A and B are shown apart, each in its own frame.
Chain A
Amino acid sequence: MKEALQPLCRVAAHPEARCWFLAWSPGGGLLASCGGDRTVRLWAREGPGWACRAVLGEGHQRTVRRVAWSPCGSYLASASFDATTCIWKKGDDGFECVTTLEGHENEVKSVAWAPSGNLLATCSRDKSVWVWEVDEEEEYECVSVLNSHTQDVKHVVWHPNQELLASASYDDTVKLYREEEDDWVCCATLEGHESTVWSLAFDRSGERLASCSDDKTVRIWQQYKPGNEEGVACSGTDPTWKCVCNLSGYHSRTIYDVAWCHLTGALATACGDDAIRVFEESASSTPQQPTFSLTAHVPRAHSQDVNCVAWNPKEPGLLASCSDDGEIAFWKYQRPEVC
C-alpha cells in the first residue's frame, strides 16, 4: 500500500523549528510554508527538486501558524501567535506586507480567503471567528465577530462556491456560518467528535465536509437542503448537516490535518503518528452512506508529527506535507487499481 504514495523530494524548510502549514498558490506553481521560526517561505520547482524562492521574515513576532492565498494569487495572508494577521502583496520585488489585521485577544490560529476574494476569515484562541471585508482600495474592515464557540478555535475554511464559513474548535464541534441581513450568524453546529477538531476540508462540490480530530477519527458530513428527498429534517431555510461516515481505527494518534483533492476526490490525512494516509470513496459507496477505503499509508512519512497535507490544485496526485521536524516532503499519489 506504500506504493500508491511515492516520495519525490524532501527539503529542510524551517531550520530548528516546526513547519506548521503549507498552502499551494491557486496556479499550483508556488508553495507557501510557515513555522515556528516566525517566517513564511515560498518554494518553487527547480530541476527535479524544490527550492526556496523567498523568505518573508519581517512580519511576525511569534510563530506563524497558517498561510492562505487569495483566489487571484496576488495576496498571501499569514496568521500568527502574535495575535495579528499580515497581508502580503505580490510585487515586482517579491512580497511586501501591506496591512496588519489586529483585534484578536491572543493567538490567531487560522486565516482563510473566500472564493469571491472579497472576504477573509480569522479565528483565535480567544474563541472568536472574525469576518473581514476587503474593498478595491485594499482596505480591510471587520464586519463580524462571531462568539459561538466555547473554546479555542483551531481552523476556518470557506465553502468552495457558497458564502458559507466553517470553523473547527477545541470545544469538539464544527460550526457553520452565513450572512443574514447584514450580519453573520451561526447556522449549524456539528457535534460528534469526542475531542478537539483540528481541521476541515470541503469536497469540490461543497456537498460534503471532512473533519479530523484529536479523537483519531475523520468524519464526513453531508449537506441536506430543505425539502430534500431523503426526508432529513431542516430548521427553516438552513440546510442540515449529518455525519454520514466515520473513519475510525486507522490513525493511532491525533489527526492534525485533512485535505480533499478537488481534482481526484482523494482524501489525505496528516497524523501525529508521523504517517500520511490517503482514502478514496469505495466502489460500494452510496450517496447517503459513503464508504471510504485506505488506498495509501506511509508509516514514517516524517520523523515527527505530520502537521499538514496539501494537494496541488493543478497537478493531480501531487501532494505536499510538513512536520514538526521542520521538513517539507513532496509526494506523487497514484490511485491503486482495486479500491
Chain B
Amino acid sequence: MSLVLGLLAQALGRALRYSAPRRAGHEPRGRAMEQDKALEVYDIIRTIRDPEKPNTLEELEVVTESCVEVNEIGEDEYLVIIRFTPTVPHCSLATLIGLCLRIKLQRCLPFRHKLEIYISEGTHSTEEDINKQINDKERVAAAMENPNLREIVEQCVTEPD
C-alpha cells in the first residue's frame, strides 16, 4: 500500500514540477526586478545603428521600451523577449537587425538569460520565416562567420568612442 502511495506522490510531484513555470513576477518585488532588467536590456539595444540609415534603432522606433519583455524563469535567470518593428518590409534587413540585437545582447548583457527575438506581429509578410532564422543559434553562428555580414553587424553594434 505504501509503495502505491509513494508512487502516487512521486507522479504528482512530477506533474506539478513540470507544469508551466510559475510566474515569479507576480510578487511586487519580482515584477520590479523584471522591469529593471527590461530597462537594462533596452539601454543596450537602443543605441544599435540601423544597417542602412545613419540612425539608431531607437530613433527609427525599430525598438521601444515597451518592446522588451523580461520574465524570471529560474534563480537569477531571465527570459528576454524582444519584438522589433523593421522600418522596411525587406527580408534581409529584418534578419540583419535580428542578428545585431542577438549579438549585442550576447556580448553586453551581464545577467544570465535566454533570448527570443521576434518581428512584431503583422509588420512583415514572411515574419515566421524571419523569426525562425533569427532564433536558430546555429544559423546565427554561421552568419557571424561570414566576413561581410560580420563587418556590417560590427559596425551596427560597436559603440562610437
Contact residues of A with B, CB < 8 Å? 18, 36, 62-63, 65, 81, 106-107, 109, 125, 152, 154, 170, 195-196, 214, 249-250, 252-253, 272-273, 294, 299, 303, 305, 324, 338
20 contacts between A and B (CB under 8 A): A18-B141, A63-B141, A63-B142, A63-B145, A65-B138, A81-B141, A81-B142, A81-B145, A107-B142, A109-B138, A154-B138, A170-B136, A214-B136, A249-B18, A250-B18, A253-B114, A272-B114, A273-B114, A303-B112, A324-B137
Chain A interface, DSSP helix/strand/loop, else mixed: loop
8 nearest A-B pairs in the assembled complex, by CB-CB distance:
A62-B145, A107-B142, A81-B142, A249-B18, A81-B145, A250-B18, A63-B145, A63-B141
Partner of B142, one of A125, A250, A305: A125
Residues on B facing A (Cβ under 8 Å) = 7, 10, 14, 18, 21, 73-74, 112, 114, 132, 136-139, 141-142, 145
Q: How far is the CA of A18 from the CA of B74 in the complex (A)?
A: 23
Q: What is the count of residue pairs linking A and B with beta-carbon distances less than 8 angstroms? A: 38
Contacts of A272 in B (CB 8 A): 114
Contact between A338 and B7, CB atoms less than 8 A apart: yes
Q: A107 CA to B10 CA in the complex, in Å?
A: 45
Given contacts A63-B145, A272-B114, A338-B7, contact A252 B21 (CB under 8 A): yes
Closest Cβ neighbor of B73 among chain A residues: A252
A-chain residues with CB within 8 Å of residue B112 when the two chains form the complex: 303
Chain A hits for B74, CB < 8 A: 299
Asked if B145 and A305 sit within 8 Å, CB to CB, the answer is: no
Give chain B residues whose Cβ lies under 8 Å from the Cβ of A81. Answer: 141-142, 145
With a CB–CB cut-off of 8 A, which chain B residues contact A109? 138
**Contact yes or no, A196 B136, CB < 8 A:** yes
Q: Which residue of A lies closest to B114 (CB)?
A: A253
Within the complex, the shortest CB–CB distance from A249 to chain B, in Å, comes to: 5
Residues of A within 8 A of B7 (CB): 338
| Residue among B14, B21, B137, B138 having the largest count of chain A Cβ atoms under 10 Å | B138
The docked-state distance in angstroms from the alpha carbon of A211 to that of B138 is: 18
Q: How far is the CA of A132 from the CA of B10 in the complex (A)?
A: 50
Complex: how many Å from CA A83 to CA B132? 22
Residue on B nearest A300 in the bound complex, by CB: B74
Name the A residues within 8 Å of B136 (CB-CB): 170, 196, 214
Q: How far is the CA of A275 from the CA of B141 in the complex (A)?
A: 21
